[in-house]
Amino acid sequence: QVACQMDTLLLGKNILVTAGPTYEAIDAVRGITNKSSGKMGYAVAKAALEMGAKVTLISGPTCLPSPAVDKFIPVVSADEMLRAVQTEVSQIDIFISVAAVADYRVASICLQKLKKPINNLSIELIPNPDILMTISTLPKPPFCVGFAAETQDLEKNAAVKRNKKKLPLLVANLAQDAIGSDENELILLDDDGKHILPKAAKIEQARRLMKHIHLLYNNKLKK
């Protein structure tokens, strides 16, 4: 029988998704963060569930209602997100890193609210760990999928990222089109080249993406 049921394609597979921004505190009441609504990551989690996967969603702060995943882990900072990912990763077949992780955090967080007057306030920032690369370069990594939001040279920058992070699949989109929007256009980069998913609702894109991931993942298992 050729026809296959969409809702069982990923049955028994454990999928970990990170979504939303991370928030890096400056003091008790302020912080720095990335522009991210969480919509794409939550749509990916939903699409994976629809295909029968067991889904763990690790999410930075968003305004979205918690989706009906198997396990929902809310986090705030990149460090917290990394620790949550490391706790889950041994159980995972596929890791989809959709989160807009802050690349830097504040070197020393002030526990109280910083008070005025301050003329020139400088804040020392130090790099955050790269969560996706920490996982994708493990000796036996799960199947890792990255996202790249770029403002220019989309395909070139995304291809460099895919190589650097050793990813079988990288999903590229233009930041100015995608962030906060309900729709986006995606370019999937894998070993076969590029596949364009023309502009559509994020849930539709997530479903197309999950089908592509299913194909690549199965091919990898056959090798």
The catalytically annotated residue of 14, 34, 173, 184 is 34
> Under the criterion CB under 5 A, does residue 103 sit at the interface with Ca ion?
yes
Determine, following the binding rule CB under 6 A, whether residue 106 of this chain makes contact with ligand CTP.
no
Within a 13 Å sphere around the CA of 82, how many CA atoms are in the beta-carbon half? 15
CA distance 51 to 135: 24
Q: Which of 44, 131, 188, 197 binds ligand CTP (CB under 6 A)?
A: 131
Does residue 74 have a cis bond before it (omega within 30 degrees)?
no
Q: Print the binding letters for residues 184-203 with ligand CTP: x by CB under 6 A, - otherwise.
A: --------------------
Closer to Ca ion at the Cβ: 103 or 153? 103
- Comparing CB distances to ligand CTP, the nearer of 52 and 129 is 129
Number of chain positions touching ligand CTP (CB under 6 A): 14
Q: Of 37, 45, 32, 111, which is closest to residue 78 (Cα–Cα)?
A: 32
In the list 27, 79, 80, 130, the residue contacting ligand CTP (rule: CB under 6 A) is: 130
Is 189 annotated as contributing to ligand binding? no
Q: Specify whether 163 is catalytic.
A: no
> Binding residue per annotation — 129?
yes
Does residue 127 belong to the site contacting Ca ion (CB under 5 A)? no
Q: Which helix (H) or strand (E) holds 217?
A: helix 202-222
Residues 6+ positions from 208 with CB-CB distance below 8 Å = 186, 197, 200
Handedness of CA 203, 19, 216, 161 (dihedral sign): positive
Q: Which residues are catalytic?
A: 34
